[in-house]
Amino acid sequence: MLTLKPLRRFITLGQFIIERQTDFPYAKGELSRLLRDIGIAAKLVNREVNKAGLADILGDMGETNVQGEDQKKLDVYANEQFINALRSGGECLAVASEENEDLIEIESPVSQNAKYVVCIDPLDGSSNIDVNVSIGTIFSIYRRKNDRTGSTTIEDFMIKGSEQVAAGYVIYGSSTMLVYTTGKGVNGFTLDPSIGEFCLSHPDMKIPEEGLLYSINEGNYMHFPNGVKKYIKYCQEEDKATNRPYSSRYIGSLVADFHRNMIKGGIYIYPSTGKSPNGKLRLLYEANPLAFIAEQAGGKASNGFDRILDVQPESLHQRVPLFIGSNKMVEKAEELMRTFSA
């Protein structure tokens, strides 16, 4: 009798999420559906980001296009897509977004029994769109504390990053990828436009222990802490034993710099500067989700002294210095921060 072997040329994000659902004994599919909702919004945003270069034909953002339709700024559009997807998916109670000063309560009949809150930077680095540089979405998911009832408040978001149940990013680049973790490793999915599905392309991602790339905006050198200045000089010194000097790579788009370092190894640093004494990046929807991913991939993330995931949030949009990437590179930077900038 002919036995057909299952033709498994690819695993879609949806199939993968369902297959991994057993990782969560308590989950009855809610987190799976929440991740699915984010994947759907990412596809919609990807479609518009890919058209951004046609602004002249489609009409500049913020004006009307040839059909007389209002062209939304892409980061506003992305914010709306993710919030709408989370609202209609029914698993999300509230959203803290880089685009909104206050938290957004999801009040819809389908969300009555929702258990999750989401922090999101819907389109980080959007200023790079005009020069066709990769940009990204970053998201972080928490399960609401069991003792919390009634309307969501900021208290539901003042949770350490170590308590995230999931985190991920989407990079809209030469290809579009969605990379996420639920605390059981990191997996990367590449969008196949021919079928409109994210397909597993980077299973069980691990960030190399050491790297040869350092990413930092050296234009701020004069305002860096001494420990950072010492680390930059360390990267530039000749030392065959540790493959130095390293190469400097700074795209100016966090998700693109982080993703490259995830694949090749490296360190990204946005320290305190004169203009930004607490650094530029936000704890809730940039540093925490990327720190969760970095640690799950064997890397490290700190504010130069303390583990990012242990930082107690005090406000929705608070900034934090970020040192993130290959374990040994972050450790070296922390060593110099302790010695020269404690």
* Binding stretches for ligand P6P (CB under 6 A): 124-125, 127, 217, 252-254, 257, 280
Any idea what DSSP says for residue 188? Answer: E
Q: Which of 247, 289, 314, 309 is nearest to 118 (CA)?
A: 289
Any idea what DSSP says for residue 286? Answer: I
The residue (of 249 and 328) whose beta carbon lies closer to ligand P6P is 249
| ω into 313 cis (within 30 of 0) | no
According to DSSP H, which parts of the chain are helical? 13-19, 30-51, 55-58, 74-89, 226-236, 254-264, 288-296, 327-341
Least distance CB 282 / ligand P6P (angstroms): 8
Least distance CB 231 / ligand P6P (angstroms): 17
Report the length, in residues, of the chain.
342
The residue (of 81 and 261) whose beta carbon lies closer to ligand P6P is 261
Least distance CB 159 / ligand P6P (angstroms): 23
Least distance CB 49 / ligand P6P (angstroms): 15
The residue (of 58 and 324) whose beta carbon lies closer to ligand P6P is 324
If phi > 0 it is left, if psi is from -120 to 50 it is alpha, else beta; for residue 90 that is: left
The residue (of 42 and 290) whose beta carbon lies closer to ligand P6P is 290
Whether the Cβ atoms of residue 64 and residue 70 lie closer than 8 Å to each other: yes
Least distance CB 75 / ligand P6P (angstroms): 10
The residue (of 169 and 180) whose beta carbon lies closer to ligand P6P is 169
The residue (of 24 and 169) whose beta carbon lies closer to ligand P6P is 169
User: Which of helix, strand or coil describes residue 325?
Assistant: strand
The residue (of 127 and 248) whose beta carbon lies closer to ligand P6P is 127
According to DSSP H, which parts of 136-287 are helical? 226-236, 254-264
Element of type H or E holding 199: strand 197-202
> How far apart are the C-alpha atoms of 21 and 26, rounded to whole Å?
10
Least distance CB 252 / ligand P6P (angstroms): 5
Least distance CB 290 / ligand P6P (angstroms): 11
